[in-house]
Structure 1
Amino acid sequence: MKKQGGFTLIELVVVIVILGILAVTAAPRFLNLQSDARESSLQGLKGAMAGAGSIVYGKAAIEGKEREEVSGAYPTLDDLTEINFGYPAATKDGLVKVVQGLEDSNEWVYAEDTQGVASTPGTLVATFSGNASGAVAIKNTGCYVQYTEADSETSTPDISVTATDC
């Protein structure tokens, strides 16, 4: 009698079940697409803030206002953009005005943190609309971009992304 080689039907079913279990447990770790997409959007907003800041600084330098700092009220450019040391101020009439899509958008919400809620006056935080409103609430989401104004003539604004809970 000939001995047959190969797999039995039961062995094949067991292997398929084991592969299915591995796929169900491992797939979410490798396919965390929504979180990655949200983090990428935050990185894009960070880039838009940095680019807009550079353009505003160039305009401030042309107007000779790159060294002006806040003394009671924010200095402004000819187009009334508020600045601090030549870079956009962390206000509605500063950064929000120059970053396209931040002010009149259904995608983003922002809050000025000029009261020093997190001991960082001159700060603006932004996150996805629907996440939260208000500086403290936005920071509590763990998914936001934070813009902190330049604090001297030789410094630049600090723009950071927090994406721990996206």
Structure 2
Amino acid sequence: MKRQGGFTLIELVVVIVILGILAVTAAPKFMNLQNDARKASLEGLKGSIQGAAGIVYGKAAINGLEASDAADAEVSGIPIKFGYPQATSAALGAAVNGLSTDWTCGTPSGDSIKCTFKGKDSYLTSADACYVEYTQAKSASAAASTTVVATGNSCS
């Protein structure tokens, strides 16, 4: 009599157990994708702000305003300080395309302003900080700076 080919019940159970073990060890690696996407979005915003600040500075240099700290200094309708956009929602919104519609910026604090995801104002002040901070130029020899802050559980 011929033996039928196939898998026994024990072999199938062993394969299922091995697949379960692999799934349990690999699943946490894929669970952190949302936080990685948040960080990548913040890095993209940082690049946008830096690029826009560079363009504004170039326009200011062409107009001879790169050393100006006058309160009414503007380039293409963008308020500037030492050639770079001022740290205000209005100035950054005019310089960065889509900033006002896709992101929210807090109240300026001294020479800096924090921007985060639209509707996520709590990311600006809580322990779960998740934002981009833009600091305007403080002198003609110091450029504006942009940093990403991603701490806590919401963005880590």
Judge same fold: TM > 0.5, yes or no. Answer: yes
SS at structure 2 position matched to 1:82: strand
Scaled by the length of structure 1, what TM-score is found? 0.77
Taking the aligned partners of 2:149 and 2:18, their CA distance within structure 1 comes to 38
**Deviation above 3 Å: which 4+ runs of structure 1?**
none
> How far apart, in 1, do the equivalents of 2:86 and 2:120 lie?
24
AA aligned opposite 1:19: L
Deviations 1:43-83 (A, max 9, x none): 1111110110011001111111100125xxx3422533111
* Change in CA separation of 1:62 and 1:79 when aligned onto 2, cut-off 3 Å: same
Among 89, 93, 98, the residue aligned to 2:90: 93
Structure 2 length as normaliser, TM-score? 0.81
1:154 to 127, 141, 144: 141
Equivalent residue in structure 1 for 2:124, among 115, 138, 146: 138
More helix per residue: 1 or 2?
2
For 2:116, give the aligned amino acid: T
Q: CA contact under 8 A between 1:69 and 1:84: conserved in structure 2?
A: yes
Does structure 2 conserve the Cα–Cα contact (< 8 Å) formed by 1:90 and 1:112?
no
1:111 has 2:106 as partner: yes
| Alignment-derived partner of residue 3 in structure 2 | none
Aligned to 2:68: 68
Contact kept? 2:136, 2:145, Cα under 8 Å: yes
5+ unaligned residues in a row in structure 1: which ranges? 1-6, 115-120
Unaligned runs of 5+ in 2: 1-6
Going from structure 1 to structure 2, the CA distance change for 1:78 and 1:25 (only over 3 Å counts) comes to: closer
8 A contact 2:89–2:105 mirrored in 1: no
Contact 2:49 2:96 in 1 (8 A): yes
Note the aligned Cα RMSD (angstroms).
Answer: 2.2
Higher relative contact order (CA 8 A, sep 6+): 2
In 2, Cα distance between the equivalents of 1:90 and 1:112? Answer: 9
> Which position in structure 2 is the counterpart of 1:79?
76
